[in-house]
A and B are shown apart, each in its own frame.
Chain A
Amino acid sequence: MSRLSWATWLYIAVIVSAAAAILAQIPFDSPGPQFWVTFAVLALLFLVCDSSPIVLGDRQWAWSPSSAATLAAVLLLGKNGAIGAALVGAVAVISVRRKLRLVERLFNGAMYTVAGYAAGTTFLALDGHFIPIKNLSDVLHGVQLDPTVSRCFERAVWPFAVAAIVHVLVNHGLVWGMLLLDRRGRTSTPQARPAWGLPLLLASDVGFAALGLVISALWVVFGPFAGAIVLVPLFVARWAMGQFAEHQRAHDATLRALCQAVETKDFYTRGHSERVSRGAGMIAREIGMRADRAEAVRFAGMLHDVGKLGVPTKVLQKEGRLTEEEYAAIQLHPMRGLEIVRDIGFLNEALTGIMHHHERMDGRGYPMGFAGSEIPEFARIIAVVDAFDSMTSSRAYREATSIPDAIAELRKSAGAQFDPKVVDAFAAAVDRDGWPRQEPAQPRGHEILTSQDHDDPMAPLQVVERT
């Protein structure tokens, strides 16, 4: 949220004024002290949850189970439930998080207020039963349970379920609107991905929403202490989710570092895997690939040339024509790559991309000589980006080609070597998002300088004709 467009401002303004209109209805005199005690405990619970969210993806998203507190307010605050829930949601404004700007705070507070009010109104409209609250002194003096309390729950469950779904939908809908508006005009970051996919996030929210009902049940026995009890599993879950996100970042970083290590063997291809990975991600987004497959194709791009390590350095360094044996050694690299990464379970489909990234549409590629639709989609994507990155990088025998020229070259070979649809998608993506400009690299002396590039479609490897 660096610089907001006027549409974004308008969007925020509408939500904030809606929230203000809701909060203006607070009947400051009528609810008794019990309302305020219950509200205070739930607000505190909300605040604790909201102050330590897990950050998802590129720091635009944050998730916390705070909605459990809002939904408990719907059940516990009786006929003031809707306002109470709205008020609990408004606490997000004072969430204890650094790096949260005022606009973000206002938006979050307003968004939770609207969501809480919507849930509360739904619950009341469906004639949901409230839970009779036990106050602190009842708890301390061990007042007996009202035997009819289980009836209240029986009549609260279904209205509550609907209210919870309304809360989740309003919450996600408003956040999505914000992200869609805010995304326009900023450069895309295909590397960033939400660590916790959207369907999972929705499911998690619905699952934790049920906790609102559990909090109310515990409230009947323990009064306000119920909040403290449910915090424990919430924090354990948060820890596991945070660990997951952290390990996933570590995993990506490790993968990248190891690919870079492989590249040190060849000076001119530095950064190649990273760029191919990025380009593959751009194509995946352009053609609307599912998030998990898009992620897999990025991994395939990252790892596609790992097998080059199995090609003897002297073959890579050789100037002039290659013998058939040497050419065969180069053709083996996709299989060598497969050999290395085969055991990595999560790669699945990415393996096909690694193995077949040198197939050609006309069937004259290697290692299998597949043609057309026989070639897996991942491989067709990587083939395009691979060739493009090779052309736009400088080589010992030529300067880097400009981006428009390289695209033109791709289009020329579309059909014979590349899948025209993938080329089109890539051209559109580069047109929109651009391509990282590379500094012309100067060797420092001790690196290995290769004089050929097997990826370069403009200067194919020359093989000695057998006489």
Chain B
Amino acid sequence: MAWQTVDTGRLLLLSFTASLVVVAAAGTALAHFQAVNVAIAFGLYIGFGELLRLVLPGGREAAPIAMSAALSYAMVLTIARSPHYDAFGELTQEPFHRAPPLQVVLVAAIGMVIGSLPHIAAGRRAGLTGMSARLVAVACVAFIFDPLARHLNHRPGVALGVIALLAVLGWLIKTVILAIIRAEDLRARYSVTLSDELRVQWRLGLAVVVSAIITIFGAEVMGLAELAVFAGPLLVIQFAFRRYAGIRATYLQTVRALAQVTEVGGYVDSGHSRRVSRLSLAIGRELGMPEPELLNLEYAALMHDIGQLSLAEPIPGGATLLVSPADARRIAEFGAEVIGQTGVLETVAELVRFQWLPASGSMTPPLGSKVIRAANAFDELVGGSADRDRTAAAIVRLKQEASEYDPEVVAALATVTDRLPITRL
């Protein structure tokens, strides 16, 4: 158990990356540094991408432009330079030398560090984990591509295929690494975090892969100026994603804030909706629910008491446990009606509608409703307290009422509350 608390995966990743960078620096120092201007251009490009990180839904940090820039530097075939007339009056071009894999790793690492400095200066996270994952992926691609490179000159079709495959491979390596780290952070199942990661990121991944291809072949024709030209469309795409992620975050913020109306109105305990939603999320994750379902669960848990607004006077102490099933049903249905009026949260409305149903009745409620029901009951029994005895007593009581509360959900509840006190979920 001691191993789990120090986040093995992250530690392993960081130390591996650190030694990789040291080896790259040493290797590059011993060998001849190739094409300094190209290295500088790509290094700045990577740094620029790292500067423009974005936070995707679910709090994932991504740096698509940096990833695509690093992948293109690893697989660049040749770069057009202005031909000039030599001493004999012949039009010639200086030959281009590809950067060896260790130099690619070093340049990418330097670019990433430069790009992350402003983040650190602004007091944001340095994002070491994300950078390490990207760097490891780029290193793999660079080492695989290097021996293939000389077979690919003047065969654009074959080159396109190989580069596309390797770019996809690099992106997958990064995604798998991040999914492992995320599973560790959230204490979720690895298979679930991986499929979540792929679902959230595949479109951006596609853009990363194709952007790398465009950069590589564009620079072959236009020279390094292509990097500047292509930055325009990339910025627009990046900005579109930023706005999308921003509105998702705002949405959650709004629902969180407005779910407090029941607290301000004195219908429920202060902090109740927030605690029930955190607990429901933890249970849902323990049960292996995928991210879209977890999001719906979070919204439903936040708003599960909104139906109480239909009551003229708050229930004393907000204790929905003590309300008759008919009233509980009326409250749940009114809440679902309110949420249904948004026209976009149908699934959430369903979860709220069936929260009053006992687990083993004639109708089976959706899993999310069962989770909310158990989390709500638990919070009403325990309140905001982190007292171990009260927690244990509440769980014993929920286990006894197996017809009311789904045993599997209660078992998950017991696991998550045992792992961390409720106040730290």
Q: Which residues of A contact B (CB under 8 A)?
A: 68, 139, 142, 144-145, 147-151, 153-154, 157, 200, 203-204, 206-211, 213-214, 217-218, 220-222, 229-230, 232-233, 236-237, 239-241, 243-244, 247-251, 253-258, 260-262, 264-265, 306-307, 309-310, 312-313, 336, 339-346, 448
Q: A247-B248, A247-B251 are in contact. Are A217 and B258 (CB under 8 A)?
A: no
The segment from B188-196, B205-213, B278-286, B406-414 found at the interface with A is: B205-213
Most chain A beta-carbon contacts within 10 A, residue among B223, B248, B265: B265
Q: A142-B154, A218-B214, A340-B258 are in contact. Are A237 and B236 (CB under 8 A)?
A: yes
Q: Which of A147, A229, A243, A342 contacts B83 (CB 8 A)?
A: A147
B306:A253 contact, CB within 8 angstroms: no
Q: A150-B80, A244-B247 are in contact. Are A233 and B342 (CB under 8 A)?
A: no
Within the complex, what minimum Cβ distance (angstroms) separates A459 from chain B?
A: 24
The segment from B136-144, B226-234, B368-376 found at the interface with A is: B226-234
Which secondary structure dominates chain A's binding surface?
helix
B223:A153 contact, CB within 8 angstroms: yes
- Bin the interface of chain B by size: 35 or more
Which secondary structure dominates chain B's binding surface?
helix
Within the complex, what minimum Cβ distance (angstroms) separates A236 from chain B?
A: 4
Whether a CB of chain A sits under 8 angstroms from the CB of B309 is yes
A309 to B262, CA, bound (A): 8
Residues of B near A151 (CB, < 8 A) are 82-83
A254 to B225, CA, bound (A): 46
Whether a CB of chain A sits under 8 angstroms from the CB of B155 is yes
A149 to B78, CA, bound (A): 14
The residue on A at minimum CB distance from B230 is: A214
The residue on A at minimum CB distance from B80 is: A150
B244:A247 contact, CB within 8 angstroms: yes
Residues of A near B12 (CB, < 8 A) are none
Interface residues of B in 232-270 (CB under 8 A from A): 232-237, 239-241, 243-244, 247-248, 250-251, 253-258, 260-261, 264-266
B261:A262 contact, CB within 8 angstroms: yes
Whether a CB of chain A sits under 8 angstroms from the CB of B400 is no
Other A-B contacts than A142-B157, A210-B231, A241-B244, 17 sampled, CB-CB below 8 A, are A68-B233, A145-B221, A157-B225, A208-B232, A211-B232, A213-B222, A240-B240, A241-B243, A247-B244, A247-B247, A253-B344, A309-B264, A309-B309, A312-B266, A341-B257, A343-B256, A346-B250
The residue on A at minimum CB distance from B202 is: A236
A139:B156 contact, CB within 8 angstroms: yes
The 7 closest A-B pairs by CB, nearest first: A210-B232, A150-B80, A207-B236, A240-B240, A309-B265, A250-B344, A236-B207
Within the complex, what minimum Cβ distance (angstroms) separates A196 from chain B?
A: 8
Most chain B beta-carbon contacts within 10 A, residue among A239, A240, A249, A343: A240
Q: Which of B91, B207, B236 contacts A204 (CB 8 A)?
A: B236
The residue on A at minimum CB distance from B243 is: A244
A340 to B203, CA, bound (A): 36
Most chain A beta-carbon contacts within 10 A, residue among B154, B156, B220, B222: B222
Q: A222-B217, A262-B309, A339-B264 are in contact. Are A210 and B230 (CB under 8 A)?
A: yes
Whether a CB of chain A sits under 8 angstroms from the CB of B81 is yes
A150:B232 contact, CB within 8 angstroms: no
B251:A229 contact, CB within 8 angstroms: no
A261 to B352, CA, bound (A): 15
